[in-house]
């Protein structure tokens, strides 16, 4: 893809100015409320505090490998929601940092100053602060810095590696959102359609279990679904979305039905806590309060242009300059696998299929839902693969290696897409 020279220059200048502006706030004095030595999982220094209005933790292993991981939390997480990244990272000698990004899912609606888009600034601020802390503590700068995270953290990892290639040498993004507008819209579409056929979900799961290729339109249940129920089920499988000029399916994958009942309340919770914040114009009956039925009925494609203009700022672009490893479960009911399929296509649209393969490596974990033990067990192998890939790129192929065709994790082997 050929870009106009002015477009490239303007974007580069904009990013440079953004980094310079954010660096000032990142150097602001932090408020430390804990600074202690801990022994598990390996001996390390633990720091906890507040930077700006974002709570954070930093861990500095006694046996440091000279490198740094910057984490990004999930949509419902906080500065302590590091998952397996922190434990695996520490065991391999990485310093690690994570913040709550200055907002919480359950309170953001009542905090007028908190914005989802604040995440970009807070992660960059944390990165600068942690790099300085690492240098002060070890007497040397980190030789490499990687972004890592799952779910919303997977989205943030892609975002930061795309937008700040001078700050990060690469990243590992697990089961991440690509478009928040399409993701939240898929959540409301899921719950309002699921409600229609909920009474038959046991039969639907049984039919799919008996025949993985079951087609509800040609092999009706007994008794059959009503036309309304059948239409609602198809609406869950097929949800048209758009990002970066590409259309994609953000629906839930056939075969994942057995995960739907257990995740219904979580998906509804995301919508309940977020719709009013994401769409300030939405109030169908004008009473100033969104009912549960109104939340379920929300469709971002019917919202006024300012809503899309705001949420689309959070869309991933695929404009990578640093390597990225992405992993996603094929039965994820929370973030559709379609979000990762379209992310790969975004990179390909910019760089071509061969060029994209030099920048993004996607691995599918069969049957995994929204994260899980399978992903956690492959983090170590993914870090090793990313290190080797960065070395390969830095040395022009004289050392290191390309990402493997099969990622061998602790609980399975996953082929590269």
End-to-end CA distance of the chain: 22
Give the separation between CA 70 and CA 154, rounded to whole angstroms. 12
- Mean pLDDT across 331-354: 98
Rg of the chain over Cα atoms, rounded to whole angstroms, equals 22
Looking from the CA of 80 toward its CB, the CA atoms found within 13 Å total 3
pLDDT at 9 over 60: no
- Domains of the chain and any CATH numbers: 5-178+319-415 (3.40.50.1820), 181-312 (no CATH)
Give the separation between CA 387 and CA 396, rounded to whole angstroms. 14
β 54-61/67-72 pair status: unpaired
Residue 238's CB is within 10 A of a number of other CB atoms, namely 11
Dig out the tokens for 97 from the structure.
Answer: 């940092």
pLDDT at 21 over 60: no
Instruction: Tell me the pLDDT tens digit for each residue of 74-118.
Output: 878 888 888 999 999 999 999 999 999 887 766 666 665 546 667
Instruction: Tell me the pLDDT tens digit for each residue of 37-78.
Output: 999 999 999 999 999 889 999 999 999 999 999 999 987 888
Q: What b/e string do you get for 143-177 counting C-beta neighbours within 10 Å, with b at 16 or more? A: ebbbbbbbbbbbbbbbbbbbbbeebbbbbbbbbbb
The whole-number pLDDT of residue 29 equals: 58
pLDDT at 16 over 50: no
Nearest to 366 by CA among 334, 330, 328: 330
């Amino acid at each position: 893809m050929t870009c106009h020279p002015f477009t490239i220059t303007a974007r580069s200048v904009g990013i440079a100015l953004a980094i310079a502006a954010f660096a000032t706030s990142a150097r602001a004095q932090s408020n430390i409320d804990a600074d202690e030595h801990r022994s598990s999982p390996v001996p390390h220094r633990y720091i906890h505090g507040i930077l700006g209005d974002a709570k954070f933790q930093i861990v500095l292993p006694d046996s440091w490998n000279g490198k740094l991981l910057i984490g990004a939390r999930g949509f419902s997480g906080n500065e302590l929601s590091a998952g397996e990244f922190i434990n695996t990272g520490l065991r391999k000698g990485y310093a690690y940092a994570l913040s709550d990004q200055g907002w919480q899912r359950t309170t953001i609606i009542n905090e007028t100053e908190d914005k989802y888009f604040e995440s970009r600034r807070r992660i960059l601020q944390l990165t600068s602060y942690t790099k300085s802390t690492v240098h002060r503590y070890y007497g040397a700068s980190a030789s490499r810095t990687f972004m890592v995270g799952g779910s919303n953290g997977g989205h943030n990892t892609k975002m930061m590696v795309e937008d700040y290639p001078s700050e990060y040498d690469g990243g590992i993004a697990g089961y991440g959102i690509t478009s928040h507008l399409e993701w939240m819209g898929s959540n409301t579409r899921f719950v309002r359609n699921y409600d229609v056929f909920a009474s038959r979900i046991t039969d639907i799961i049984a039919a799919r279990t008996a025949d993985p290729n079951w087609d509800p339109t040609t092999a009706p249940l007994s008794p059959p679904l009503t036309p309304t129920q059948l239409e609602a089920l198809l609406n869950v499988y097929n949800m048209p979305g758009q990002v970066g000029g590409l259309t994609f399916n953000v629906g839930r994958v056939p075969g994942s039905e057995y995960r739907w009942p257990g995740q219904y309340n979580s998906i509804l919770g995301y919508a309940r806590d977020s719709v009013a914040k994401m769409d300030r114009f939405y109030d169908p009956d004008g009473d100033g309060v969104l009912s549960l039925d109104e939340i379920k009925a929300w469709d971002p494609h019917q919202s006024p242009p300012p809503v899309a203009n705001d949420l689309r700022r959070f869309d991933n672009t695929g404009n990578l300059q640093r390597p990225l490893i992405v992993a996603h479960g094929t039965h994820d009911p929370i973030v559709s696998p379609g979000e990762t399929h379209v992310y790969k296509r975004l990179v390909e649209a910019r760089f071509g299929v061969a060029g994209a393969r030099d920048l993004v490596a996607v691995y599918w974990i069969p049957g995994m839902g929204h994260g899980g033990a399978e992903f956690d067990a492959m983090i170590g192998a993914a870090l090793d693969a990313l290190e080797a890939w960065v070395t390969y790129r830095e040395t022009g192929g004289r050392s290191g290696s390309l990402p493997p065709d099969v990622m061998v994790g602790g609980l399975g082997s996953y082929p590269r897409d």
